[in-house]
Chain A
Amino acid sequence: MSAGVDLDNVCADFGTFRAVDNVAVNIQPGEFFSFLGPSGCGKTTILRMISGFISPSQGVIRIGGKDMKGQRPNQRPTALIFQNLALFPLMPVWENIAFGLEVRGVDKQKRRARAEELLHLVDLPDAADKAVAQLSGGQKQRVAIARALAVEPQVMLLDEPLSALDLKLRQHMRAELRAIQKRTGVTFIYITHDQGEALAMSDRVGVMSQGKLQQVANPRDIYNNPANGFVASFVGENNIFTGEVQGTEGNLARFATASGTFTARLGPAVTQGMKARLFLRPEHVRLAPGAGGTNSIPVEVTDVAFEGNFISIHARDAGGQVLLAEARNDGATAVPAPGDRLHFTFDGQNAVILTGDTAARDIDA
């Protein structure tokens, strides 16, 4: 029912621009795999190559072990859900869903029955005879999913299908998509620039930047053990210090920055003497009234924002760098006020030294 997808050193060139650069990944049958990256990173190009609308300029794409070279989109066992869904507005809902069956010569009664069945699966009974324009955003979403499922694809490709929905509905549809994937067992390949979506739904995530696959790992590892500066900075918030690796002790290293010398975990491919960056998640920052231990930065609080489940604290250190800490709103932590002077401290195991460029912060996440 479901097939794995192997990308074997796949490249895509548009003129002199290399949109996808040597991407190699094996996506397992039945896996929910996400490509995560900023717009223009090449993730949509990968999806269009898997579905067959673009041919790779180098490399091999295999679906279920079979080389897809020369196979048109209508010959591949994939179904693509477009970003704008691309439902057929002139057909009623059930004909939309049954289109793939109509193409395969299934007779009308069976088509209709199957469409009804799928409408139940996506929790949208009684919509069969409605016009597409009568549906809400979330309902259109479900119809698009049903239409793709109708052709019993081995691989489902989803191109940011939730981006047009409002936040509440998006979160609901995440769970829904995940449930449908589990129920059908179809391999899902999901494209998104929204890290929350990727982390919440996927079995594994491939983070992309500038056409290259930066890291492939499960969501926890992506967040906790980023492979390089790009992954660390693109996924989640960070305090970033630029500096130089001085001495290493086990998996920890001493790292000299303008804000002081810290001890932190050594990331992959980082060695002594290297210029690198230290990444510290705001939720790993502790607030201390006085200096404490090795990793301690004296700061002045500039702003405190109450976010509900947590409190976000902006502060400035002696060198003028803006730092961010997050305190859980558990009632136990004393909430500082702007102007307070205190220390940001952290455990060296919770901070990591990495190389590589950081992601631009103007991403529309």
Chain B
Amino acid sequence: MKDLLNRYGLLLTTVFAVLTGFWILVLVVLPNIYLFEHSFKPYLPVAELGGPKDVYSLDNYLTFFRSPIHISVFFWTVIYSAVVTFICFLIAYPLAYYLSKVSARALLPMIFLLLFIPLWVSEVLRSFAWFIILALKGPLNASLLGLGIIEDPVRWITGFRGVIIGLVYTYVLFMLFPLYNAIQSLDTNQIEAAEDLGAPWWRTHWRVILPHAKPGIASGSVMVFMLSAGSILVPTLLASTNSRWFTEIIQQWMFESQDWNTGSAYAFLLLILCTVFVSAVMRVFRVKLSDIAK
């Protein structure tokens, strides 16, 4: 704070502080507190608000646990978010290794630019592009048919397939960058030392590079998992009739039933249960929160 004062003077520092404070307090904290409070209240007609029925209870939360369908949707959302996270890791790890240890330094800005450009396009447009690409008579099937790789068009958008493809595409970079940072910080001599001692490439990865990259893998995985589980756009556009994402249920409570209270309870449940899940996974892989912060 003193640094800030010295550098920008009283007026600008005050402006910064007020704007940041406004953003955090009014746009983040207050709405959450509002929703949190309402998640414990029943959904009542306006006339009964403040009446004898308007008391705090866990009913909204229990609604979830009383609904096998919602539990199953939540279960599959977590499972498929984990699948998305794993696929993102499979794609990002070799790429991160290549970028940080193999590719020529002069090529890096070019490659990063190519990776970044898609991020400049809105997520809606990108998801919609996938909707077109994956369509039964879309370009992907047309090319595969044209190349003779498949004989009949594949129905891509069925089950969770479309959602997985869309989520992987949308969030793979959130895995790539932490991984890139982690692998880049590894002393190249260690990779060479392992090879010099006789290790084949896969063992060097298993014993030297992967353990070193663990914090990067963890932070990338947490990000991709949380973003996937909380994503609404991609599932809305790329889900099929037999795949529902938990966020869609929250949306239904909020906008179709107009029941913000239960909707809020579901939103907090998503946050809490995902946090529990992530903590459990981190414990299994022996990753500490402080490692991720590095």
Q: B257 at interface (Cβ–Cβ under 8 A)? A: no
Q: B155 at interface (Cβ–Cβ under 8 A)? A: no
Q: Once the chains bind, are B194 and A99 in contact (CB under 8 Å)?
A: yes
Interface footprint category on B = 10 to 19
How long is the Cα–Cα vector from A45 to B232 in the complex, in angstroms?
Answer: 55
Q: Once the chains bind, are B187 and A79 in contact (CB under 8 Å)?
A: no
Which residues of B sit under 8 angstroms from A147, Cβ to Cβ?
Answer: 197
Which residues of B sit under 8 angstroms from A151, Cβ to Cβ?
Answer: 197-198
Q: B5 at interface (Cβ–Cβ under 8 A)? A: no
Q: B190 at interface (Cβ–Cβ under 8 A)? A: yes
Majority secondary structure of chain B interface residues (helix, strand, loop or mixed) = helix
Q: What residue in chain A is nearest B192 (Cβ atoms)?
A: A53
Q: Once the chains bind, are B189 and A73 in contact (CB under 8 Å)?
A: no
Contact residues, A81-98 vs B (CB, 8 A): 82-84, 86-88, 90-91
Contact residues, B188-204 vs A (CB, 8 A): 189-190, 192-200, 203
Q: Once the chains bind, are B199 and A99 in contact (CB under 8 Å)?
A: yes
Q: A74 at interface (Cβ–Cβ under 8 A)? A: yes
Taking the nearest CB of chain A, how far is it from the CB of B217, in angstroms?
14
Which residues of B sit under 8 angstroms from A79, Cβ to Cβ?
Answer: 196-197
Taking the nearest CB of chain A, how far is it from the CB of B214, in angstroms?
9
Q: Once the chains bind, are B197 and A100 in contact (CB under 8 Å)?
A: yes
Contacts A99-B207, A103-B200, A103-B203: A86 and B195 contacting too (C-beta < 8 A)? no
Q: Once the chains bind, are B187 and A103 in contact (CB under 8 Å)?
A: no
A99-125: contact bitstring with B at CB < 8 Å (1 yes, 0 no)?
110111000000000000000000000
Q: Once the chains bind, are B199 and A86 in contact (CB under 8 Å)?
A: no
Taking the nearest CB of chain A, how far is it from the CB of B246, in angstroms?
37
How long is the Cα–Cα vector from A100 to B193 in the complex, in angstroms?
Answer: 10
**Cβ-defined partner of A74 (8 Å) among B187, B198, B207:** B198
Give how many A residues have a beta carbon under 8 Å from the other chain's beta carbons.
25
Contact residues, A263-312 vs B (CB, 8 A): none
Taking the nearest CB of chain B, how far is it from the CB of A363, in angstroms?
24
Which residues of A sit under 8 angstroms from B200, Cβ to Cβ?
Answer: 74, 103
A128-166: contact bitstring with B at CB < 8 Å (1 yes, 0 no)?
000000000000000000011001000000000000000
Contact residues, B154-206 vs A (CB, 8 A): 187, 189-190, 192-200, 203
**Cβ-defined partner of A73 (8 Å) among B196, B203, B211:** B196
A29-57: contact bitstring with B at CB < 8 Å (1 yes, 0 no)?
00000000000000000000001110000
How long is the Cα–Cα vector from A133 to B223 in the complex, in angstroms?
Answer: 31
Q: A27 at interface (Cβ–Cβ under 8 A)? A: no
Q: B249 at interface (Cβ–Cβ under 8 A)? A: no
Q: Once the chains bind, are B196 and A74 in contact (CB under 8 Å)?
A: yes
How long is the Cα–Cα vector from A314 to B57 in the complex, in angstroms?
Answer: 94
Q: B212 at interface (Cβ–Cβ under 8 A)? A: yes
Which residues of B sit under 8 angstroms from A87, Cβ to Cβ?
Answer: 193
Q: B208 at interface (Cβ–Cβ under 8 A)? A: yes
How long is the Cα–Cα vector from A91 to B198 in the complex, in angstroms?
Answer: 17
Q: Once the chains bind, are B196 and A51 in contact (CB under 8 Å)?
A: yes
Contacts A88-B208, A90-B211, A99-B207: A74 and B190 contacting too (C-beta < 8 A)? no
How long is the Cα–Cα vector from A72 to B204 in the complex, in angstroms?
Answer: 14
Q: A195 at interface (Cβ–Cβ under 8 A)? A: no
Q: A192 at interface (Cβ–Cβ under 8 A)? A: no
How long is the Cα–Cα vector from A100 to B200 in the complex, in angstroms?
Answer: 11
Q: Once the chains bind, are A90 and B212 in contact (CB under 8 Å)?
A: yes
Taking the nearest CB of chain A, how far is it from the CB of B153, in angstroms?
45
Taking the nearest CB of chain A, how far is it from the CB of B102, in angstroms?
14
**Cβ-defined partner of B199 (8 Å) among A51, A74, A83:** A74
Q: Once the chains bind, are A78 and B196 in contact (CB under 8 Å)?
A: yes
Q: Once the chains bind, are B197 and A86 in contact (CB under 8 Å)?
A: no
Residues in A lying within 8 Å of B, measured CB to CB: 51-53, 72-74, 78-80, 82-84, 86-88, 90-91, 99-100, 102-104, 147-148, 151
Q: List 8 A-B contacts (CB under 8 A).
A: A72-B195, A82-B193, A86-B189, A99-B197, A99-B207, A100-B198, A103-B197, A147-B197
